[in-house]
């Protein structure tokens, strides 16, 4: 157990409240407001406010959705005598959590499908799938998500089991990692997979003892069906954008309930981009959203001349998503040393070949776009760095910070290359807690203890972002903070004690670090003059809480742009 970091004492004077109110940032905000509509300054005050921009304080002055000053309540009241006051009670305020890699738009569709990881999980998957089949009109698709074969009491689903559950109609059950799925015979036929087919490049097809397809589709074999290119008919039936606006609003509320104010949706298509735009236009988008567009749409971005950061404070293009290898907790990541992979082989899957990866990274980089390349295993991380280093050498004018999504396994040489290349790693926040036993089972103790090497990366001077990969991993940012501080698994084991962080460092990873990853350090991640007034009110101080209990701290309310978007009382 680590000792919580000391809490900085509150500053007695406001950090020049009057001058802060007249600062260029505050003046810009005031001018913008004056040109549109009158708006009063509001002072938010609480027992304690951790700004991550200086000493702890008690009050924030907010105008037009931005912070114009921080300090003590008396000092800010004197500096802004006509301001409205909002009492946040005995709560502890921290900057709003920013999940730099999750999949909320996918969750909007999930709300209209069967999710095997939610609801009454005491009912076996087969029984729940059978009920969904019975409720679906004849000939209709059945799509289930969130399946964990290692937690299935009746054993791993396969083609034969799904054929028996749904004779003559297509069924696809998606693994919780989203990197693989199992399909029945009609669905395999619609995808174009037949028993004698070889595995496609960058993917694999599961087979039984006789060589017949067993229904499992891995990595690119699956992704190329799920996310087909522009103009190709969809493989899985999906709902219209109009039908997804309200489910997306529900997803916003779910994430706000954990204190999340911003996220980066780490794999979107033009459909999800339009969904976010429509939800924003209708006032149903209450979070700030960045997006990584799937690389198959790169040409469309380049033709439109869109660069990283296109958009506004609510919806923006962060960059392009690529995939170098498979899943960490799904046992398909590409490592320099062999292991018993989920496919039955002695290593994971390289999803994009070296030449395709290098060419795609270069094309995005040359166009002024950020790449976010999924790479878990150390061998995959090295290949991504090869591509980024080459692109930077060929086109040095683009200085945007590229990202390595997950960056789960690194060594000292890779860490130094990450530092030199200005790459932002985006490791899992709470995978050690949520999937610790799986990690040990796949990779052994030594590698599992160094997975998600937050401490090593920070000690090298690298800015690190926080992410859940939800729904593939646990969502709760406070659980991520707890996991980064304790490295304790769900079954109580400490996995990699030398990678533990202080509470302050863990909070910074999930706020300012994530803002850096999306190119928004100038807007969010800290509570300081000129920054967006995005914050969360916690029921207790994470600094004063037993580290193993941080995830149990209640969220009282969540605020975006100084507007309450969620409250535990409503």
Is the pLDDT at 401 greater than 70? The verdict is yes
337-to-135, 334, 442 alpha-carbon distances in Å: 47, 9, 12
**Cα 263 to Cα 514: distance, rounded to the nearest angstrom:** 9
Class for the domain spanning 99-103+239-524? alpha beta
Strands, E assignment, 438-489: none
Report pLDDT digits (tens) over 323-357. 999 999 999 999 999 999 998 999 999 999 999 99
Name the pLDDT band for 234 (thresholds 50, 70, 90). confident
Domain 113-226 has CATH 3.40.50.10330: no
Stronger pLDDT, 465 or 106, i.e. the higher one: 465
Question: Among residues 539, 568, 550, which one has the least CA distance to residue 89?
Answer: 539
3-class secondary structure for 21-88? HCCHHHHHHHHHHHCCCCCCCEEEEEEEECCCCCCCEEEEEEECCEEEEEECHHHHHHHCCCCEEEEC
pLDDT exceeds cutoff 80 at 6: no
**Per-residue confidence band for 65, with pLDDT thresholds at 50, 70 and 90:** very high
pLDDT digits (tens, 9 = 90+) for 161-206: 999 999 989 999 999 888 889 999 999 999 999 998 998 888 899 9
Q: Pick 523 or 223 by higher pLDDT.
A: 523
Instruction: At 118, list the tokens.
Output: 């939610």
pLDDT at residue 532, as a whole number: 98
- 460's tokens: 């090298």
DSSP string, 478-509: HHHHHHHHH-B-TTS-B--GGG---HHHHHHI
Of 339, 360, 343, 496, nearest to 428 by C-alpha is: 496
CA atoms of 6 and 49, how far apart (whole Å): 15
Q: How many CB atoms lie within 10 A of CB 289?
A: 26
Domain boundaries defined on the chain: 1-96+525-570, 99-103+239-524, 113-226
pLDDT over 70 (residue 216): yes
- SS3 per-residue string spanning 124-140: CHHHHHHHHHHHCCCCC
Report, in angstroms and rounded to the nearest whole number, the Rg of the chain calculated over CA atoms. Answer: 24
Burial class (CB in 10 A: 0-12, 13-18, 19+), 130: middle
Percent of the chain with pLDDT over 90: 78
According to DSSP, the residues that pair with 264 across neighbouring strands are: 290
Whether the CB-CB separation of 80 and 72 falls below 8 Å is answered with no
Q: Tell me, what's the pLDDT at 230?
A: 65
- Dist CA 259 CA 99 (whole Å): 10
CB of 45 closer than 8 Å to CB of 89? no
Query: In angstroms, how far is the first alpha carbon of the chain from the final one?
Result: 36
**Residues near 129 by beta carbon (within 8 Å), at least 6 away in sequence:** 114, 116, 142, 144, 162, 165, 166, 171, 173
Order across the sheet with 260-268: list the strands. 97-102, 260-268, 288-294, 315-323, 371-375, 403-406, 424-426
Altogether, the residues listed in the chain come to a count of 570
Q: How is residue 401 written in tokens?
A: 């910070």
The residue written with tokens 């699956």 in the block is: 222
Distance of CA 261 to the CA centre of its chain: 12
The third-level CATH classification (topology) of the domain covering 1-96+525-570 is Urease, subunit C; domain 1 (2.30.40)
Return d(Cα 482, Cα 479) in angstroms, integer.
Answer: 5
Q: What rounded mean pLDDT belongs to the chain? A: 91
CA distance linking residue 482 with residue 553, whole number of Å:
10
In angstroms, how far is CA 226 from the centroid of its own chain? Answer: 19
How confident is residue 38, by pLDDT bands cut at 50, 70 and 90? low
- Match 């802060």 to its residue by tokens: 20
pLDDT score for 229: 67
Segment 287-298 shows an average pLDDT of: 96
Is 202 within 8 Å of 169 (Cβ atoms)? no
């Amino acid at each position: 157990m680590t000792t919580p970091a000391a809490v900085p004492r509150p500053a007695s004077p406001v950090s020049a409240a009057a001058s802060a109110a007249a600062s260029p940032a505050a003046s810009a905000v005031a001018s913008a407001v004056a040109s549109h509509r009158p708006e009063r300054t509001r002072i938010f005050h609480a027992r304690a406010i951790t700004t991550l921009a200086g000493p702890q304080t008690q009050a924030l002055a907010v105008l037009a959705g931005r912070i114009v000053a921080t300090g003590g309540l008396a000092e800010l009241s004197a500096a802004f005598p006509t301001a409205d006051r909002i009492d946040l009670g005995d709560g502890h305020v921290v900057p709003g959590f920013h999940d730099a890699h999750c999949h909320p738009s996918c969750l909007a569709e999930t709300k209209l499908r069967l999710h095997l990881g939610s609801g009454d999980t005491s009912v076996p998957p087969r029984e729940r799938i059978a009920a969904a089949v019975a409720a679906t009109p004849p000939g209709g698709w059945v799509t289930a998500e969130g399946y964990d074969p290692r937690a299935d009491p009746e054993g791993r689903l396969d083609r034969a089991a799904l054929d028996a559950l749904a004779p003559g109609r297509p069924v696809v059950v998606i693994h919780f990692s989203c990197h693989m799925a199992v399909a029945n015979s009609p669905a395999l036929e619609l995808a174009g997979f037949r028993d004698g087919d070889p595995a496609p490049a960058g993917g694999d097809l599961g087979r039984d003892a006789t060589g017949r397809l067993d229904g499992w589709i891995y990595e690119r074999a699956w992704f190329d069906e799920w996310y087909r290119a522009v103009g190709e008919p969809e493989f899985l039936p999906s709902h219209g954008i109009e039908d997804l606006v309200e489910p997306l609003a529900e997803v916003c509320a779910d994430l706000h309930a954990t204190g999340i104010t911003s996220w980066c949706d780490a794999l979107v298509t033009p459909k999800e981009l339009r969904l976010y735009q429509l939800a924003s236009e209708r006032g149903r988008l209450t979070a700030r959203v960045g997006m990584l567009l799937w690389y198959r749409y790169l040409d469309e971005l380049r033709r439109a001349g869109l660069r990283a950061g296109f958009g506004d404070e609510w919806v923006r293009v962060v960059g392009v998503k690529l995939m170098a290898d498979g899943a960490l907790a799904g046992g398909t990541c590409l490592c320099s040393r062999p292991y018993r992979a989920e496919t039955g082989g002695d290593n994971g899957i390289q999803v994009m070949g070296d030449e395709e990866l290098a060419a795609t990274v270069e094309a995005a980089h040359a166009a002024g776009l950020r790449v976010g390349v999924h790479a878990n295993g150390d061998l995959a991380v090295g290949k991504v760095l090869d591509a980024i280093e080459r692109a930077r050498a060929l086109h040095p004018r683009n200085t945007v910070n590229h990202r390595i999504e997950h960056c789960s396994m690194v060594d000292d040489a890779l860490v130094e290359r990450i530092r030199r290349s200005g790459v932002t790693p985006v490791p899992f926040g709470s995978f050690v807690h949520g999937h610790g036993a799986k990690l040990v089972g796949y990779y052994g103790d030594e590698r599992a203890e160094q997975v998600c090497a937050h401490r090593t990366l920070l000690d090298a001077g690298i800015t690190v972002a926080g992410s859940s990969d939800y729904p593939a991993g646990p969502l709760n940012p406070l659980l991520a903070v707890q996991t980064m501080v304790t490295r304790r698994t769900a079954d109580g084991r400490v996995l990699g004690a030398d990678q533990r962080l202080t509470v302050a460092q863990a909070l910074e990873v999930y706020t300012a670090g994530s803002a850096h990853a999306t190119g928004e350090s100038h807007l969010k991640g800290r509570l300081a003059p000129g920054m967006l007034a995005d914050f969360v009110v916690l029921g207790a101080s994470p600094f004063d809480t037993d580290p193993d209990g941080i995830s149990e701290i209640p969220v009282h309310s969540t605020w975006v742009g100084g507007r309450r978007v969620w409250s535990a009382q409503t």
